Structure 1
Amino acid sequence: MTDFTKNMHETIASHFGLGSSTRGKTMDEHNRGRSEAEYRAAKPVVKCNAGESFDGFERRMLQRNYDAFKAAIREAVVAMEDANFTSAEIELFKDVVSDAEGDTWRPAIERMEQ
């Protein structure tokens, strides 16, 4: 495994909240003098089946993305008002967004709440 690949694995693990196995060191510092087998043995093994989550991580990410979606829609409506769109055009936009929300966000949130 190249240093680049090791660093990418660490970056991905950190991004998804899986913690760091290097305890503050770079991957190069952490693995200096280790064989490939020692590296693999020290790496935490994380398995996740469909629908499982790490301490509510999926729920937090869904909520964060949903909040960002709602904020973006509010900003878009304000921008449309500033650009002098008619109220009918703004309502049409809101209807389209509502349909997308119903098709995408609500089912995902309902699955998480079960």
Structure 2
Amino acid sequence: MTDHTERRRYSRVDFGTTVTLSQNNEQCEADLLDISLNGFLINTPAHYRIDVTEPLQASIPLADDALIEMQVTLAHSSNEQLGFRCESIDIDSIGHLRRLVELNLPDEHAVERVLSELLRAG
């Protein structure tokens, strides 16, 4: 297990969709690789510009016309992938995200533990 994996406290689930990132009147789309209650990982878009000193708005569409919308900051980057940390999220979006994670975790109680950790950390 790598140091990066050992440091990860939030269960991540694979979820294939497109994320729209917006910042300073610019937008780009990218393929979502996985998501957690604390952030998400995407394939690095071909053309993008991010001001790392400013948050971005992320919109993640769900199958039922719902959206997960959150304010994020860049947590780590490589040539292939960008990882984002959730800085704020509205009540409807956290409900959608919680349900998404809940449905995809093998342990039905894991999402409660993760959500409790997230609330204590914030």
The TM-score normalised by the length of structure 2 is: 0.27
Which protein is richer in strand relative to its size?
2
Greater gyration radius: 1
Report the TM-score when normalising by structure 1.
Answer: 0.29
Tell me which protein shows more helix as a share of its residues: 1
Higher RCO structure, 1 or 2 (CA under 8 Å, sep 6+): 2
